Structure 1
Amino acid sequence: MGLLKRNPFGHILFLKKWLIRIAGSFTHKRYRGFNQMHIEGSEIIRALPETNVLFISNHQTYFADVVSMFHVFNASLKGRENNIKNVGYLWNPKMNMYYVAAKETMQSGLLPKILAYAGAITVERTWRAEGKDVKREVNPNDTENIKIALEDGWVVTFPQGTTRSFKPVRKGTAHIILQHKPIVVPIVIDGFRRSFDRKGLRIKKKGILQSFVIKPPLEIDYENDSVDSIVEKIEYAIEQHPSFLKVIPADELEEQARLDKDRMWKY
């Protein structure tokens, strides 16, 4: 790799690689040390093609969620079976991995700007800006950048566009799916909201069992499925459909707590 070789967005790959290595080394204990992460589905990652893959996930923190994906994806590709043991898997990380993030979030300070270099596709939110509700047209440059990223590799998006649970899935994700026909892989995460602050930068509580579940690709009829039907499929896939809002019996909660305690330090 030439020192000045760049990706389609002009980022120097040599710098990006070292950024991922350094950031990965500093953050590894956040998922395997201070806390533990239970992973399922690493074999699905290894079976995916090199390009045109769209990951959809629920969202719990600004940055910790996507950082965990860099760890899990690279560990899986290096043969780790549902674990992130030995951070050496980041020595030669996957370089064509991107994630969709709000432009104002990634420009909110020096650290976010540095993290953006690792692969952010920044977009202007059409419904929210500077903490206020807005209504504006989609920036065509944003959709074009997502297209470029899919043609180059993998893209992670959080289709609810917020870290708040059970908010509606934005239809823009469905439009992207119908237009570019990617393989769509759902991911469901949990425990990050309890582990970290809202930005995902500060450890709020230690000893949390985080979970990271990679599901098989969605079955989508790109020619006949409607935007609304794809939105509904996404809601079910990332477990954010309103039907998941239910009262869980106390005995079930107690049993889950017991299992979490049993599993706490086994990974």
Structure 2
Amino acid sequence: MKLYKQDPFGNALFLKKFLIRVLGLISHGRYQGFNKLEIEGSEILRNLPDRNVLFVSNHQTYFADVAAMLHVFNASLSGRDDSIKNVGYIWQPKLNIYYVAALETMKSGILPKIFAYTGSISIERTWRSKGKNVNRQVKMSDISNIEKALNDGWVITFPQGTTTPFKPIRRGTAFIIKEAKPIVIPIVIDGFRRAYDKTGLQLKKRNILQSMVIKPPMDIDYENDSIADIVEKLEYAIEQHPSFLKVLSPEEYAEQEALLDKKRKFWNS
């Protein structure tokens, strides 16, 4: 008989809750102090089932993206609309939220190891290892762990598998969608790579607008959509399809970069 409740991966829920509370209190100022996080669509989260929900997002830093999502998810479930004001929501966090991360990243130091305990599904990347390109077979245990997490709750994944924008969607995400048939919620983030270093642990610049747009569930035909169909739908949903690229002159790029640090017009509409 177990002395304490555990998640499907053997992590003690009381310790998981404690770590989420501590990390949530420490990180809150990054999104509601040093910088401003604007949120759109958080009400969608309250209408989702408790399990078999897959969040797909573009990726800008190793850790700041996920931390922001954990804040937004828990704030929304506590009744806040597009806001993470008053961090009290973190006292009773949703404990069955998981996120897919590279195994080597989550083993890269004591802080990543602590962060991993809050819900990481650490997988071995098949295309990149220690800064070099590789070509490895997908580990079926990694796929199994993602499906196990979906069976228990919500899973966050970054289907490009990299913080570099407009890289291809990894087909493994589409395969999991066809197999597990989850509700798929797209999220589009921006501003994180300007505010933090690549890991997302160090603050690089203050007063940066960070944005998170949560979109309605994707329309996916699990039986008839092919892997290629789902990949293309994911590209459009998280706004990483090549059609979103636009060739800018240096002057246009400089002007657009400056505007990104200011409040966007659509937040006022």
TM-score range with shorter-chain normalisation?
A: over 0.9
Tell me the equivalent position of 1:56: 56
Amino acid at match of 1:238: I
Contact 2:56 2:185 in 1 (8 A): yes
Partner deviation per Cα, 1:241-264 (whole Å, 9 max, x = no partner): 00000136849x56982993488x
Q: Which runs of 5+ in 2 are unaligned?
A: none
Partner deviation per Cα, 1:133-182 (whole Å, 9 max, x = no partner): 11011111101100110000000000000000000000000000000000
Quick one: structure 1 residues 107 and 254, their matched pair in 2 at CA, closer, same or farther if it must change by over 3 Å? Answer: closer
Contact 2:209 2:261 in 1 (8 A): no
Partner deviation per Cα, 1:48-81 (whole Å, 9 max, x = no partner): 0000000000000000000001000000000111
Tell me the equivalent position of 2:172: 172
**Residue 234 of structure 1: how far off its partner (Å):** 0.3
Looking at structure 2, the residues matched to 97 and 10 of structure 1 have their Cα atoms a distance apart, in angstroms, of: 14
Q: Which runs of 5+ in 1 are unaligned?
A: none
Tell me the equivalent position of 2:30: 30
Looking at structure 2, the residues matched to 261 and 65 of structure 1 have their Cα atoms a distance apart, in angstroms, of: 19
**Residue 220 of structure 1: how far off its partner (Å):** 0.2
Tell me the equivalent position of 2:200: 200
TM-score by length of 2: 0.93
Contact 2:191 2:260 in 1 (8 A): no
Moved over 3 A (4+): 247-251, 253-256
Quick one: structure 1 residues 172 and 22, their matched pair in 2 at CA, closer, same or farther if it must change by over 3 Å? Answer: same
TM-score by length of 1: 0.94
**Residue 4 of structure 1: how far off its partner (Å):** 1.6
Write out aligned runs for 1:54-133 (5 A): 54-133=54-133
Looking at structure 2, the residues matched to 197 and 229 of structure 1 have their Cα atoms a distance apart, in angstroms, of: 34
Amino acid at match of 2:96: N
Contact 1:3 1:14 in 2 (8 A): no
Quick one: structure 1 residues 235 and 262, their matched pair in 2 at CA, closer, same or farther if it must change by over 3 Å? Answer: closer
Partner of 1:31, secondary structure, is helix
Amino acid at match of 1:257: L
Tell me the equivalent position of 1:135: 135
Tell me the equivalent position of 2:226: 226
Quick one: structure 1 residues 258 and 146, their matched pair in 2 at CA, closer, same or farther if it must change by over 3 Å? Answer: closer
Write out aligned runs for 1:225-244 (5 A): 225-244=225-244
Looking at structure 2, the residues matched to 193 and 259 of structure 1 have their Cα atoms a distance apart, in angstroms, of: 12
Identity of aligned residues (%): 65
Quick one: structure 1 residues 106 and 221, their matched pair in 2 at CA, closer, same or farther if it must change by over 3 Å? Answer: same
Q: CA RMSD in A?
A: 2.1
